[in-house]
Amino acid sequence: MKKLEVKVEFTVFDDVDELTQEDKELMFKAVETRKTAYAPYSKFRVGAALLLENNEIVLGSNQENASYPSGLCAERVAIYQAGAQYPSQKIKKIAISAASDQNITVTPIPPCGACRQAIAEYEVKQESEIEIFFMGETGKVVKSNSLKDLMPLLFDKSFLL
Ligand code: THU
């Protein structure tokens, strides 16, 4: 028997103004896109903005459904849109902002497990890391340099062989 320790690393910024200009602009796109969320059931709005290698920005917001599981998170709306529209472009960065209609969300909101799995697929596919920035409505921003820091023991295609 042996114990394994896994080290993950995050950078925490006190607010968006501490980000580089490029990262700040991407986060502002995520904040703007949050407003397009269709979230009548949870009243929880999420916006995601992806920066691609060709400098295109692809946006997504959560889209809910009266049949709850049929809805989709902002991150997957954006990443699948990028995959469909720019199949050969690598994703450099993802910015995510989440806010509730019911109170002010100051806690940085990380992507859910299913979205992490979706982001993992694209990191593996493109063979390069994706920077992930996430925040609430306001306040601190957390950055991870790779999806692997958010989900160290990830499931990928290598297990299917
Ligand atoms: N949601 C996202 O868009 N991204 C996440 O990573 C977590 C949750 C959405 C799904 C649903 O519309 C609402 O937030 C509440 O779970």
In sequence order, what DSSP letters do the residues of 23-47 get, joined into one string?
A: HHHHHHHHHHHHTT-B-TTT-EEEE
Handedness of CA 12, 18, 20, 25 (dihedral sign): positive
The pLDDT value recorded for residue 9 is 97
The pLDDT value recorded for residue 1 is 96
Ligand 1 neighbours by CB, cut-off 6 Å: 39, 42, 44, 46, 62, 64, 71, 73-75, 111-112, 115
CA–centroid distance, 1 to ligand 1, in Å, is 39
| Residue nearest atom 14 in ligand 1 by C-alpha distance | 44
Which atom of ligand 1 lies at the shortest distance from residue 37's CA? 12
Which atom of ligand 1 lies at the shortest distance from residue 62's CA? 3
The pLDDT value recorded for residue 50 is 98
The pLDDT value recorded for residue 101 is 95
pLDDT along the chain (161 residues), means of 10: 96 98 98 98 98 98 98 98 98 98 94 98 97 97 98 95 87
Pick from 149, 135, 155, 156: nearest CA to 47: 135
- ∠ at Cα 27 (75, 69), nearest 5°? 20
For residue 28, how many other CB atoms are within 10 A of its CB? Answer: 16
Which atom of ligand 1 lies at the shortest distance from residue 73's CA? 3
* Whether the Cβ atoms of residue 90 and residue 128 lie closer than 8 Å to each other: yes
Does 129 participate in catalysis according to the annotation?
no
* Whether the Cβ atoms of residue 114 and residue 75 lie closer than 8 Å to each other: no
Average predicted confidence (pLDDT) for the chain: 97
The pLDDT value recorded for residue 71 is 98
The pLDDT value recorded for residue 19 is 98
Ordered structural domains, the chain, with CATH: 11-160 (3.40.140.10)
| Residue nearest atom 3 in ligand 1 by C-alpha distance | 73
